[in-house]
Amino acid sequence: MSSLSPQQQLDRLWRRGCEFLGSRYAILGGAMTWVSERNLVAAISNAGGFGVIASGSMTPDRLGEEIDATRALTDRPFGVNLITLHPQLLDLVAVCAGRGVSHVVLAGGLPPAPAVAAIKAAGAKAICFAPALSIARKLVRSGADAIVIEGMEAGGHIGPVTTSVLAQEILPHLTDVPVFVAGGIGRGEAIIGYLEMGAAGCQLGSRFVCATESIAHPAFKKAFVRASARDAVPSVQLDARFPVIPVRALANAATRRFADKQREVIARFDTGELDQKQAQLEIEHFWAGALRRAVVDGDVETGSVMAGQSVGMVTREQPTAEIIAELVEQAMAALAHRTATPAAATGASERGAEAAV
């Protein structure tokens, strides 16, 4: 039985992550396009977590404005998430470097070596996503200062493997750098489980969508509050000839229409009306602007309501500080229970023995 208090145990478990991020708690805010902007990012950092700006398709000038606006709201560390496929990736890295951003997260594909090198040359930390152990090791060799592993329970673009399996595959074998776990995490007990497996911390996205400081449309937040885990489903691919990048979102009229759209396009391709490229583009363009329609405009029927399976744990709108406090309290309660259980079990055993004598 540990002689440390739950608080001391928690501090020990995520010390590496806290020191790496420069935050009180090793809780990263998942970068969600249109949601993870100055208000939510600053609120997460001010509450002791680590907020991350979702740059999405921002131009360099627009990203600079967002970084400046975030810094006006918090004096705590925060990061910036950049999409590796952005045509101006190196310009965006330069913006982060010029404004002294301490941590840059590279997402959406394998990061190009020049981007990682530029981040490190600026004295910032490069955080990369890895879908497998072999890729994680390659990224570390290429200069990644930390790794995020994200399971298919997450919202938005997802891979094929669950968070729990990724954690078992990667955490015991990748100890050179801090590893943060993401995907389907909504309570403090889950955070403790991954910390005890060797994670440096955890990343949560869906849990923060309904934060009071989140600028997501009220209708978008209401959809989250009403949803259960089973409502957050991956997009469906009907024909292997036309790949669909899986995206997890709440099922709505648009997801049903997307299946109809695929059937229509495939039929037109089969009759020769469309060639392969035209057909693929029609399918891919179906979701153009759909996330903004949902998050900003509140169109939760024809928009894309991206959500992780932890959406079922979002039950109301709450201040960000309250959400983080709940997560920490749940984590410490789990540790307290584990500390107390052996003593209780020993006492029961002793009483049983006495009764038998």
Domains and CATH numbers, the chain: 12-215+319-338 (3.20.20.70), 218-310 (no CATH)
Q: In the chain, which ranges are E strands?
A: 27-29, 51-54, 78-83, 103-107, 125-129, 146-150, 156-157, 179-182, 201-204, 232-234, 247-250
- Paired with 105 in beta bridges are 81, 127
Task: Supply the pLDDT for residue 339.
Answer: 77
Cβ-contact 33, 64 below 8 angstroms: no
CA distance 86 to 91: 10
Task: Supply the pLDDT for residue 271.
Answer: 96
CA distance 357 to 353: 7
Instruction: Report the run of H or E that residue 167 belongs to, with start and end.
Output: helix 163-170
Question: Given its phi and psi angles, is residue 183 left (phi above 0), alpha (psi -120 to 50 degrees) or beta?
Answer: left
What lies within 8 Å, CB to CB, of 310 at 6+ separation is 153, 184, 185, 186, 204, 206, 207, 229
Task: Supply the pLDDT for residue 185.
Answer: 98
Cβ-contact 52, 105 below 8 angstroms: yes
Task: Supply the pLDDT for residue 350.
Answer: 47
Task: Supply the pLDDT for residue 3.
Answer: 85
pLDDT digits (tens, 9 = 90+) for 33-60: 999 999 999 999 999 999 999 999 999 9
Among 147, 294, 202, 288, which Cα is nearest to 14's?
202
Q: How far is CA 207 from the centre of its chain?
A: 10
Task: Supply the pLDDT for residue 352.
Answer: 45
* Tokens 């990682």 -> residue: 116
* Tokens 């009220």 -> residue: 218
Name residues of the chain where pLDDT drops below 70.
1-2, 341-357
Q: Which two tokens stand for residue 198?
A: 């060797």
Positive or negative, the CA dihedral 11, 15, 17, 21 is: positive
* Tokens 């398709």 -> residue: 57
Task: Supply the pLDDT for residue 340.
Answer: 77
Cβ-contact 81, 31 below 8 angstroms: yes
Alpha helices in 99-147 (DSSP H): 113-121, 133-141
CA distance 303 to 240: 25
Cβ-contact 29, 50 below 8 angstroms: yes
CA distance 42 to 158: 26
